[in-house]
Structures are given as C-alpha cells and as structure tokens.
Amino acid sequence: MELMNQIVEEDDQDSVTIAKDNDGVPDAMSEDDEVESSYSFDFFAKNDLIKLHESSDEYSIVRTGFFSGIEENSSKKIKILAIHKTFNSSFSAKVKAKNFQILAKAVARKCCGDANIKYAWYSASKDEICEILKHGFSWYIKTAENQYCYRTSIYLFAAKFSSDSVLGSKVDETGVRHLLLCRVILGKQELVTGNCNDRFHPSSPEFDSGVDDLSAPRKYIIWSTYMNSHILPCYIISFGAPYE
C-alpha cells in the first residue's frame, strides 16, 4: 500500500483522506523563527537520516498526516522545523528493514494474507530516538525520577491520533520536540485493558499485538518480545510547540 493511503489509516467511511497539497493545513509559527534557523540536526544526520525538502510530496504527506490528528486550536501553536527519513544505508539498518519485510510476509501467512501493517506515532526524547536508530528499542526505560525500569511493552498511537503523541513528547534542551513515525506489524490484535506491566508477550500465540479498542483502536501495544522486529522507524518529525 502506498504511503498516501497509510499515514492516516482509517477503518470506516467517515475517515479523512490525506491530500498531497497543504490547503487548509496550518503551519503556525512559534514565538519567532530563530529556533528554526539556528537549530542543528547534525545528530540525526549522523544516525542514517536524510532531511526531506519542504517542497517534496513525501514531506507534504507526512506533515498533513501529522496535522490531521491535531485540533485546529492546538495546531496553531505548532511549527514544524524538519522532517527526516530513515535512509537505511548502514548494514544493520538494511538488515532490519529486510527482516521487517520477511516477518511481515510470515505474519500475513498466519493471518490469512494480511499482516495488518499500520503507521503509528511514538513519543520519545531526542536522546531515546537516537538510541533507537542506533541500537533499537531498549529493554529498559528511564522514569521521571531518572531511574531505569524494565520495559514490558511499547505504546504507539494510531496515525490519526498524533495529538496523543504530541502530549507525550519530550522537550529537548533547546525547546524542540520530536516524534517517530513508524511502520508497525500488528497482525492479529487482542484487547488489552488495565495494567499490563507484568506481561512482555501476547496472551496466546494466536495474537501479535494489543489494542485499547478492537473496533476503533487509538493505542497500539507491541510487547517487548516483538519491539525490535515488529516496529520499523521511518520518519522523525521535529517541531516547536508550546503545547498545553
């Protein structure tokens, strides 16, 4: 399926389809343009990423998909500074991308021909994103108290709920936030409610991932057992947002 049809993935006929142009899509300024002109993205360039040009269709599609999941009043506070794409030029990145394709085919065979691949947003700090690009998702996560705890699952938000990811995004040292847009192999989903911190795999081999709602999922749950096989980072969107 083409990127155009995947960025915002809907399951009903009332959904919004992303357009290639930017008509009606806000790109509001932060307090000034100094952050955009002075901010360096060298840390992404060093991690096998390429910066998309603002005039490209790919930039427009990702940008429009991002704003389509944010209310107009909130979107006016957001200024996109850059969108980067994973280049997959390193050996490890090529292997990961190839393995993702192989796994998708295997899951599709198990699930009657449909691996149920979606785009989804992941909130993280700049440092965590760089670590994910270098080494994959970690089994440990840093808490608000600067301690590390064992991670049993990864939570991502459906493409049309980018606002949820913005709320969970971390501000870096210069006031900029970053989100990962990933491809995710969901396969057969199971409903997960309440606290699942004591689980790191599906409840049965029949399932591949968890969701908060089977009919209209907002949140995807990828168990730690699968986090570096079922999630493939594709884009990083960087933005300034005094987001409340």
Q: What is the pLDDT of residue 233?
A: 95
Q: Determine what percent of the chain is predicted with pLDDT higher than 70.
A: 78
Q: Indicate which CATH number applies to the domain containing 193.
A: 3.90.228.10
Position 149 scores a pLDDT of 73
The boundaries of the domain holding residue 194 are 44-239
Note the pLDDT of residue 33.
47
In-domain check, residue 3: no
How high is the pLDDT of residue 22?
37
Q: What is the pLDDT of residues 210-219, one digit of tens each?
A: 999 999 999 9
* β-pair partners for 153: 223
SS3 state of residue 179: strand
| Total-model pTM | 0.82
Structure tokens, 196:
């699942």
pLDDT at 144: 60
Q: Check whether 118 has a pLDDT greater than 90.
A: yes
Distance CA 181, CA 198 (A): 27
Helix (H) or strand (E) holding 148: strand 148-150
Residue 29 lies in a domain: no
Q: Which position has the token pair 């997960």?
A: 192
Residue 201 lies in a domain: yes
Is there a domain that residue 24 lies in? no
Q: What is the mean pLDDT of residues 123-133?
A: 91
Mean pLDDT of 125-135: 90
pLDDT level of residue 88 (50, 70, 90 thresholds): confident
User: How many domains does the chain fold into?
Assistant: 1
Mean pLDDT throughout 64-83? 88
pLDDT digits (tens, 9 = 90+) for 167-223: 989 898 888 999 999 999 999 999 998 766 667 788 899 999 999 999 999 999 999
Residue 20 is predicted with a pLDDT of: 35
User: pLDDT at position 62, please?
Assistant: 96
Give start and end residues of each alpha helix (H) in 120-173.
126-135, 162-168
Separation of alpha carbons 9 and 171, rounded Å: 27
Q: What is the mean pLDDT of residues 145-168?
A: 86
Q: What per-residue confidence (pLDDT) applies to 139?
A: 82
Angstrom distance (rounded) from CA 203 to CA 192: 10
Could you tell me if 74 and 235 are in contact, meaning their C-beta atoms sit under 8 angstroms apart? Answer: no
In a domain, 31, yes or no: no
Establish if 113 belongs to a structural domain. yes
Which has the minimum average pLDDT: 97-106, 136-145, 204-213? 136-145
Q: Is the dihedral of CA 189, 190, 191, 195 positive or negative?
A: negative
Residue 143: the pLDDT is 63
Please tell me the least confidently modeled range out of 43-57, 116-130, 203-217. 43-57
Q: What is the mean pLDDT of residues 117-137?
A: 92
- Residue 142 falls within a domain, yes or no? yes
How are beta strands 49-51 and 189-191 bridged, if at all? unpaired
**Average pLDDT over the chain, rounded to whole?**
82
Residue 159 resides in a domain: yes
